[in-house]
Amino acid sequence: MEEINAEFLRVTAVPLLTRCMAQLDKYSTQLLKIIRKKGGATKAKTATILEFLDQEADADVRRECVLKSLIIYLGECVEDLIKEYTMSQIDQAKQELDSTTMAVFVFRENSSLLQQPKEIGIIIDGAEVLTELPSVAAGVVMLFGLCYALNLEYLKGFRFTFEALQKILMELGSNKMSSKIRKLNGELHTTQ
């Protein structure tokens, strides 16, 4: 993690993990208001995730819920970016992860978000590149940082998620935004 943070800082002059987490915390209330206003499939998909926020969630769980809800709000599939497994699914997980292009993987004792993960890591082209991450949100941020600092192409299905991290949370290259991210950015700043 230190190497990714250092390389990101060298490339951008912005600290990756501390800045992204601070900005996520800063915008989480506004993001949740925007997400809760959305109806239809987005409301149905985020309902279960948002329930965890009402259950005395700690900061890591809160950030994870906000990020997952944001991914859904942007029309992308959480399960393709954050691969979650129970400890009893280790064999199945290893087979799936061997053929995964890029993802954050999470192992928990059971499937509850309130259950502290046993292991969190990043996989790229079937190889574990980072393990023992402190939280799911840190995993997503580190994956974004790896892509940005190493000039890797963002995952096709997560263009908007990574663009939101880059241009809204990290405020890098925010002069050129897709219309979807520009709209979200505008809503965030008018809701404050």
19-48 tens-digit pLDDT: 999 999 999 999 999 998 988 888 888 988
| Model confidence pLDDT, tens digit, residues 63-104 | 999 999 999 999 999 999 999 999 999 889 999 999 999 999
| Model confidence pLDDT, tens digit, residues 123-132 | 999 999 999 9
Residue in 183, 69, 74, 186 with CA at minimum distance from that of residue 137: 69
State if pTM tops 0.85.
yes
Per-residue tokens: 118:
């046993």
Q: How far apart are CA 82 and CA 191, in angstroms?
A: 28
Per-residue tokens: 134:
């402190």
